[in-house]
Amino acid sequence: MISSALKKQLQTVLADGFVLKRSVFQPCLELYPMAEWNLMMEKINKLNRFVKKNNDFIRRFTAGVKTVELDASGRLLIPKDLCHFAGIEKEIVLSSAVNIVEIWDKDSYEKVIDDAALDFAALAEEVMGNTEADELS
């Protein structure tokens, strides 16, 4: 069940539907509004399919992709194979990831967040620390 607050935020994209897929880097799912998915596919369609690593990437990136919509009750039905991939058993966490929503098993999400907390300060400095220097160049 999608919360009414999230549904309200997604109102402009609900009619177009979503694409649900396995995450590349984490044991979670990624929910793309259709417009975001189409932008991603434009990038992927520019890859040369006659280069083996490109072809392998495309196959793995799109493995398990499903088109989904919210039902009349505001529920998003997650296919069993994708639940299995993400280890979703009972409770889930929906996490905003800028232009997509990550769907996590609650216990897995909390473990990843706890594990990452120790390294977050160093990561933040590395990723965001030089933004002023970047803007000046």
Whole-number pLDDT of residue 135: 54
31: closest CA among 81, 57, 65? 65
Tally the C-alpha atoms within 13 A of residue 92's C-alpha that lie toward its C-beta: 22
Quote the tokens at residue 53.
Answer: 């690593």
User: 91: domain CATH number?
Assistant: 3.40.1550.20
**pLDDT tens across 1-26, in order?**
787 787 777 878 888 889 999 999 99
**pLDDT tens across 115-125, in order?**
776 677 778 88
Quote the tokens at residue 130.
Answer: 């030089």
What is the residue range of 33's domain?
Answer: 4-106
In a domain, 37, yes or no: yes
Point out which residues pair with 96 in neighbouring strands: 101
**pLDDT tens across 28-44, in order?**
999 999 999 999 999 99
In a domain, 36, yes or no: yes
- The yes-or-no verdict on residue 46 having pLDDT over 90 is yes
Handedness of CA 119, 120, 125, 131 (dihedral sign): positive
Count: domains in the chain: 1
pTM of the entire predicted model: 0.82
Euclidean distance between CA atoms 71 and 49, whole angstroms:
36
103: closest CA among 24, 25, 22? 22
Label residue 133 by pLDDT band (50, 70, 90). low
